Amino acid sequence: MYYGFDIGGSKIELTVFDAGLTPVWNIRVATPREDYDALLHTLAALTAQADSLSGAAGKIGVGVPGLQSGEDGALFTANLPATMGRPLRRDLSQLLRREVRIANDASCFALSEAWNPACRAYPVVLGIILGTGMGGGLVVNGRLVSGRNGMTGEFGHLRLPVDALEILGRDIPRVACGCGQYGCIENYLSGRGFEWLYQHFYHEQVAAPQLIERYRAADERASEHVGRYVAALAVCLGNLLTLFDPDLLVLGGGLSNFSELYTLLPEKLPAALLPVARLPRIEKARYGDAGGVRGAALLHLMDE
């Protein structure tokens, strides 16, 4: 059996999968955000439940909202204080007496999508989450590319490129980011950024679903806003497509439900690419919220 953990700021989700990636058991509990020992105890207790159900010690993969670096795998998890600076992989492996694999939750999302039966034929899959933040992952020939510092896929922390500044205005505020930098693209292009841009230009706070409703009702401001947002998103995605040249681009997160993106982006992207470039296939994520646990379980299965 394969156990996929998705640790978030408010909940921990565990799904047990069989060898065919069919989910057989699922549970969600509150995350001990501030207490590392309590977090370890919670993960160990959930694992014991899963082992009892499975009748064996399953293989464990964990998705976390952050990065692991250094020889001991110390985590950088700004939104999960309990694990900040802690070697969770090492400590959990020792506690459970088996190998535990850990990856960024957005990378787990990308891995899950790349392993969909309909996507296995694509050698290079790029997954992008447009949610509260903006992140993603890169999968090549079915294997996650993590990089030396586990940073591959932290696309939201690239800074606004010059072409995006031409679209948004060179005087656009360089918004402070949780990573310590200014002008990171996730503050403008995530779901949260989609709302921020509208408020910046029109001085009205409107939630993304309502903005989309206004756009579909042909509201002038909403139409102008979506055009500006898509143009900036296309510029930033164009840089990623030029760098990684994927066969498939998968969008996840709340804004992936904005169905018009799949028509608007292919119209705007060619201008951001080299003249010889062909657009990759662009699709909406298939697994929704379940992608994190599924991808975490795949951290073991991808090597078998």
Domains of the chain in sequence order? 2-109+289-299 (3.30.420.40), 121-284 (3.30.420.40)
Read off the pLDDT of each residue in 92-110 and give the average, rounded to a whole number: 95
Is the pLDDT assigned to residue 147 strictly greater than 90?
no
Q: Is 6 annotated for ligand binding?
A: yes
pLDDT band of residue 46 (cuts 50, 70, 90) is: very high
Is the pLDDT assigned to residue 70 strictly greater than 70?
no
**200, two tokens:** 């910046």
According to the model, what pLDDT value does residue 255 have?
Answer: 95
Return d(Cα 215, Cα 208) in angstroms, integer. 10
Q: Is 288 annotated for ligand binding?
A: no
Return d(Cα 124, Cα 112) in angstroms, integer. 13
Phi, psi dihedral angles at 116 (to 5 degrees): -65, 135
Is the pLDDT assigned to residue 283 strictly greater than 70?
yes
Is the pLDDT assigned to residue 263 strictly greater than 90?
yes
Choice among 59-73, 98-112, 136-150, 238-252 with the minimum mean pLDDT: 59-73
Is the pLDDT assigned to residue 7 strictly greater than 80?
yes
**Most trustworthy range by pLDDT among 8-12, 31-35, 215-219:** 215-219
pLDDT band of residue 228 (cuts 50, 70, 90) is: very high
Q: Is 63 annotated for ligand binding?
A: no
Q: Is 233 annotated for ligand binding?
A: no
Contact assessment for residue 221 and residue 202, using Cβ atoms and an 8 Å cutoff: yes
Q: Is 136 annotated for ligand binding?
A: yes
pLDDT band of residue 66 (cuts 50, 70, 90) is: confident
The fraction of the chain above a pLDDT of 90, given in percent, is 84
According to the model, what pLDDT value does residue 184 have?
Answer: 94
Choice among 146-160, 239-253, 261-275, 278-292 with the minimum mean pLDDT: 146-160
Q: Is 175 annotated for ligand binding?
A: no
What is the value of pTM for the model shown? Answer: 0.92
Is the pLDDT assigned to residue 242 strictly greater than 90?
yes
Q: Is 142 annotated for ligand binding?
A: no
Q: Is 184 annotated for ligand binding?
A: yes
According to the model, what pLDDT value does residue 150 have?
Answer: 80
Is the pLDDT assigned to residue 71 strictly greater than 80?
no
**Long-range contacts for 219-223 (Cβ within 8 Å, ≥24 apart)?**
222/198
Q: Is 157 annotated for ligand binding?
A: yes
Q: Is 11 annotated for ligand binding?
A: yes
Q: Is 140 annotated for ligand binding?
A: yes
| Integer-rounded Cα radius of gyration of the chain | 20
pLDDT band of residue 290 (cuts 50, 70, 90) is: confident
Q: Is 177 annotated for ligand binding?
A: yes
According to the model, what pLDDT value does residue 73 have?
Answer: 84
Q: What residues contact 180, with CB distance under 8 A and at least 6 apart?
A: none
Q: Is 8 annotated for ligand binding?
A: yes
Q: Is 200 annotated for ligand binding?
A: no
Q: What value does the mean pLDDT of the chain take?
A: 94
Is the pLDDT assigned to residue 94 strictly greater than 90?
yes
Q: Is 179 annotated for ligand binding?
A: yes
Choice among 131-135, 139-143, 166-170, 274-278 with the minimum mean pLDDT: 131-135
